[in-house]
Structure 1
Amino acid sequence: MSATTPALSTVTDAKFPSRFKPFSHFPPSLHFRTPHPQQISSIRCQSINTDKKKSSRNILDNASNLLTDLLSGGSIGSMPIAEGAVSDLFNRPLFFSLYDWFLEHGGVYKLAFGPKAFVVVSDPIIARHILRENAFSYDKGVLADILEPIMGKGLIPADLDTWKQRRRVIAPAFHNSYLQAMVKLFTACSERTILKVNKLLEGEGYDGPKSIELDLEAEFSSLALDIIGLGVFNYDFGSVTKESPVIKAVYGTLFEAEHRSTFYIPYWKIPLARWIVPRQRKFHADLKVINTCLDELIANAKESRQETDVEKLQQRDYLNLKDASLLRFLVDMRGADVDDRQLRDDLMTMLVAGHETTAAVLTWAVFLLAQNPSKMKKAQAEVDSVLGAEKPTFESLKNLQYIRLIIVEALRLYPQPPLLIRRSLKSDVLPGGHKGDKDGYAIPAGTDLFISVYNLHRSPYFWDRPHEFEPERFLVQNKNEEIEGWSGFDPSRSPGALYPNEIISDFAFLPFGGGPRKCVGDQFALMESTVALTMLLQNFDVELKGTPESVELVTGATIHTKNGLWCKLKKRSDLH
């Protein structure tokens, strides 16, 4: 297994509308048919018969493990070792195998594939140590190598020094007044999608209520792209209703990011590959289209620059500004580095990462709700009670509690990304965690780690009924005092927070990471998802076109579907 393989956990993904989904490039075996929620528990929690599993391995698997023993067997501490079958990479998504090994070996173990070994962390106590308590002893490792050609020195792949500088500049831009203005934008963009569906429903020959079949994953992807364009750099992609060269280039770039995260040999680093390999030529052509667009937007913003202090920038009347974008804020900030290349890297990072989260969480939220009609009705009842026929506002979001819980429960069950990657910059001693070695585990500098968010979110040690869709779970305190070193789940720990976070859960819930390198746009993404889901449920009844099992899951940088989320939509019969 090459050093690039762990990038299955990158924070970006290609969330493509169906018209741009070239999934023939994925090995067919990476397509996984999604089980019904009632089946998930038995599928995930079945114990592993290690002897039987080993006996079924082929010659390639045995050769890989022999190489592992010779080259990396003793390089990482004395923690449990999960010998990886290379064939597991092709039979199902990697994070499913990581879950099985977690149940067998515990909250921290060494995963060895061939000459390369990784530490897999599935324990909140250890995750807290890596992400918060000792955060600056780790960097993004392989993840930065893969994303650098796309995002440059944007916040996600940036080295520690660059990250510290850019974080100080970017974080203040996500202030309260900006988020209020963004809710207005989220509503306006979601209205485009609602109007589009209504036009399809009321098409030629309309004679009363009927339903249409629509790929909601594709619609959510277009919606998210429009929101990022307008909210981050004041550019209207208009992707809900049209196509353009820029949109095609964006999706081409997103797909290449995912391709690199799942391909085992970094052939794109070979000299001349960017000119010889057709897909690499296309990738660099797509990048040029996007960068040209961003350069023009940056130049326009700088021409009308109104330099001022951060405090005054945050006091602007964002609800009535013609341009309330993040780009406007970053350009106008006094004393900030406004180097064009760095700004472009920042914008590209937000475009790629910000686009993904919304499209993914909405897709899986609808997938889960469609299988739980009573919960969908409960959500619609809340929307009716809070909004009636009105549109969501920043203030009304505070009263849409159940909708917000649906969003975070979808992120718990289908985290984006399912894995986080870190690399130790110096030797460290990881805590033993729950049921681990009380003396902890020593790791040398240069150790690559997977923090399995998927395992954390579905851990039977930290969650009741971990595989069930229960949005209400986030309202209940869970002290779990028998687990030493974990403070339990306590909503009162972060008073006033609209959404549960890593503080409330003491790092058992990490949809946006945690610690100083936590995603800076988490509230933007969560509010955006809440508004979009609210307006969908406010206007339409939704059900899956086929069975839940027919929705095939594709692993890559994140979790998405193979052929879209096809649903039947009709106007609500009880609409106001």
Structure 2
Amino acid sequence: MKTSLTSTTTSFLQLCSVAGNGTCFHRNDSGLLGISKFPSRCHFLDSKAKVFPVIRCQSTNTDEPKTRNLLDNASNLLTSLLSGGGLGSMPIAEGAVSDLFGRPLFFSLYDWFLEHGSVYKLAFGPKAFVVISDPIVARHILRENAFSYDKGVLADILEPIMGKGLIPADLGIWKQRRRVIAPGFHSLYLEAMVKIFTDCSERSTLKFEQLLEREDSLGRNVIELDLEAEFSNLALDIIGLGVFNYDFGSVTKESPVIKAVYGTLFEAEHRSTFYVPYWKIPLARWIVPRQRKFQNDLKIINDCLDELIKNAKETRQETDVEKLQQRDYSNLKDASLLRFLVDMRGADADDGQLRDDLMTMLIAGHETTAAVLTWSIFLLAQNPSKMKKAQAEIDTVLGQGRPTFDLLKKLEYIRLIVVEALRLYPQPPLLIRRALKSDVLPGGYKGDKDGYAIPSGTDIFISLYNLHRSPYFWDSPNEFEPERFLVQRKNEEIEGWAGFDPSRSPGALYPNEIISDFAFLPFGGGPRKCVGDQFALMESTVALAMLLQKFDVELKASPELVELVTGATIHTKNGLWCKLRKRSNVH
């Protein structure tokens, strides 16, 4: 880290991400926050006294609201002394540090959003952050003034793992690599990937069928599985084959490379949830056992990637990007993104840069898909009628056959389930930016009409969780309603927001930030939007369809016992344990 200020920022982010049991908060008639123990549902009350139920918030061991303790008072005193200026008239959410222990950060950010509005300053000791929960302001940062911001804290955390990959890269390297990588996710490549999605998903369903057959022989017709772990294995296999033509085979086997990949994923999660960045201490990488293991895991993966890059370069068929995009990918032995990057004329990159690109896609692509499938099943299991509706569509479109690209277009309800899961459980729940120069943010809905001036170096959290569950931009924002994406919605009271209009992005398979005018940002928006969004969405759609085609799924235990934790993504503390049965009414 370059400065003590950056160190403070990173430590704060890691502190805020400490995982634990979630908490259900509600407001009473006086507008005061309360805490419910083991509730099946909890409610938030907005300024118009409309109640919005929250889907299955998590339990806590605390029965009463916590009184502000010495740590909180000291933090707020330090805030007043050191960070009172620089952000003008922006509302301030004083830092109740104790609120951050025992539950994910995004729950607290939501509480403060309801209390302080869509743009507020979150101040902890000497450091202040701006929290954005408004699509008008998010659009300004992500699209209209995108190159005035970089990834800030996020880059500090991810650089040791992803190097100069797209996510942590500074603007100069990002512009260079984006021009090379984005064309690789073209339509013919995505069509070819559907076969990889189905092949890998079929491995999972065959594994489940074999486990069920074993149980049938013992007189039982059900198996219990941690579907989050199964989805994690499936996502790893798909990324391996689709991005760098390597078959991890993690659904059915283990290998040193697979163990190293998961070790690296766990370390990335650890670094985003541990509030002291001890790994930056000199010699820590050699003295601390888990850091030695991490370095060894990285070496195993990098050696594997280096070999794949070497093989791809030895068989290079250099050509122009237009011709690469017109290849017959359905009949290519190697249709991977790595093959595209290596063959692209005029886009030479050293092995280290290619390795960083692949590592970034491996970690980012794996995490997102596993999480969206986990929460899709979690939500469907609580809504049996919607699961039956999904299975009816699958029976009509697929029958007993496999998904193809053309058939995927007809699985409308399955696609909507995937995006609704991403709305309720965005991956990641926060987008992080840092102002490279001074700027004036729009006030947003109900904010200051003159906007808010921010100085250079301001760290910003764009809370996707708040945006996606905002009572101002969504009807019944905390309810699981996939059908909502089919309906046009405009709030005339909100000046500067164009509303939700599916016709705004004709031909789009999935709702996006254009259709919602930045109220829905599962993959970000603007120039630095995730390049692999369609890959991840289509992969999730195929995997979900093939699971529901063969099996009925229910949660093993009560939904309230599924505890949330968060680091890079929102996931479960102890897995998503489900009961699977062969479908009895398959047509």
Task: Give the letter for the 2:565 counterpart.
Answer: V
1:25-71 Cα offsets, whole Å, 9 max, x none, are x96x6232799997144499699xxxxx9981100110011111111
Q: CA deviation at 1:205?
A: 5.9
Partner of 1:3: 9
Alpha-carbon distance in 2 for matches of 1:451, 1:166 = 24
1:42 & 1:510 partners in 2: Cα distance? 22
SS state at 2:553 partner: strand
In the aligned structure 2, how far is the partner of 1:438 from the partner of 1:312?
50
> Could you tell me which residue of structure 2 aligns to residue 18 of structure 1?
none
* Other-structure match for 1:421: 432
2:119 aligned partner: 108
Q: Are residues 1:360 and 2:371 paired?
A: yes
Residue 154 of structure 2 is aligned to residue 148 of structure 1? no
1:290-439 matches, within 5 Å, as 290-439=301-450
The equivalent of 1:132 in structure 2 is 143
Partner of 1:81: 92
1:363-393 per-position Cα deviation (integer Å, ceiling 9, x unaligned):
0000000000000000000000111111100
- Specify which of 174, 181, 185 is matched with residue 174 of structure 1: 185
Which string of whole-angstrom CA distances, capped at 9 and with x for unpartnered residues, describes residues 375-423 of structure 1? 0000000000111111100001111000000000000000000000000
Equivalent residue for 2:495? 484
Higher deviation after alignment, 220-229 or 279-288: 279-288
Residue 504 (structure 1) aligns with: 515
**1:228 aligned to 2:239?**
yes
Matching residue of 2:32:
none
Say yes or no: does 1:528 pair with 2:539.
Answer: yes
Secondary structure of residue in 2 paired with 1:569: strand
Structure 2 residue corresponding to 1:32, chosen from 6, 17, 22? 22
Aligned partners of 1:82, 1:275: CA distance in 2, in Å? 41
Letter of the 1:246 counterpart = V
Q: Which residue of 1 aligns with 2:251?
A: 240
Would the alpha carbon gap of residues 549 and 54 (structure 1) be closer, same or farther in structure 2, given more than 3 Å must change? closer
CA distance in 2, matches of 1:59, 1:8: 21
Verify the 8 A CA contact 2:431 2:464 in the aligned structure 1: yes
CA contact (8 A) 1:129 1:431 kept: yes
What is the distance in 1 between the residues matched to 2:184 and 2:215? 46
Deviates more, 1:148-157 or 1:70-79: 70-79
Correspondence for 1:21: none
Q: Give the counterpart of 1:195 among 199, 206, 225.
A: 206
Between 1:193-202 and 1:84-93, the stretch displaced more is 84-93
Deviation, structure 1 residue 436: 0.2
Q: Deviations over 1:195-254 (max 9, x none)?
A: 000000001662777010000000000000000000000000000001111111111111
Which amino acid in structure 2 is aligned with residue 174 of structure 1?
A: F
Q: Which moved more, 1:375-384 or 1:265-274?
A: 265-274
Distance 1:524 1:7, change over 3 A: farther
- Measure, in 2, the Cα distance between the counterparts of 1:54 and 1:86: 14
Give the whole-Å Cα distance in 1 for the aligned partners of 2:302 and 2:106: 34
Structure 2 residue runs of 5 or longer lacking an equivalent are 1-6, 25-36, 54-63
Distance 2:81 2:206 in 1: 62
Which deviates more from structure 2 when the two are superposed, residues 257-266 or residues 136-145? 257-266
Structure 1 residues 46, 176: closer, same or farther in 2, change over 3 A?
closer
Flag the 1:417–1:280 CA change in 2: closer, same or farther, 3 A. same
Contact 1:33-1:549 at 8 Å conserved across structures: no
The one-letter amino acid of 1:312's match is K
State the secondary structure of the residue aligned to 2:578. Answer: strand
Structure 1 position 285 matched with structure 2 position 296: yes
Paired positions, count: 555
Give the direction of change, closer, same or farther, for the CA distance of 1:152–1:9 in structure 2 (3 Å limit). farther
Using CA pairs under 8 Å that are at least 6 residues apart, name the structure with larger relative contact order, 1 or 2: 1
- TM-score, length basis structure 1: 0.93
In 2, distance between residues paired with 1:425 and 1:62? 32
| TM-score, normalised relative to structure 2 | 0.92
- Report the CA distance between 1:263 and its aligned residue: 1.7
| 1:64-121 Cα shifts (integer Å, max 9, x gaps) | 1111111111132220000011111103111100000000110100001111110000
In structure 2, C-alpha distance between the alignment counterparts of 1:65 and 1:546, rounded to whole Å: 41
Secondary structure in 2 matching 1:484:
coil
Give 3-state SS (helix, strand or coil) of 1:111's partner: strand
When residues 342 and 207 of structure 1 are mapped into structure 2, their CA distance, relative to the original with a 3 A threshold, is same
Aligned-pair distance for 1:481?
1.6
Contact kept? 1:512, 1:519, Cα under 8 Å: yes
CA distance in 2, matches of 1:342, 1:547: 46
- What value does the CA root-mean-square deviation take over the aligned residues? 2.1
Partner of residue 254, structure 1: 265
Structure 2 match to 1:69: 80
Conserved in 1, the CA contact under 8 Å of 2:118 and 2:133?
yes
Are the counterparts in 1 of residues 491 and 499 from structure 2 also a CA contact under 8 Å? yes
Structure 2 partner of 1:470: 481
Structure 1: how far apart are the matches of 2:216 and 2:375? 33
User: Aligned partners of 1:289, 1:87: CA distance in 2, in Å?
Assistant: 40
> 2:412 and 2:257 mapped to 1: Cα distance?
37
Deviations 1:412-435 (A, max 9, x none): 000000000000000000000000
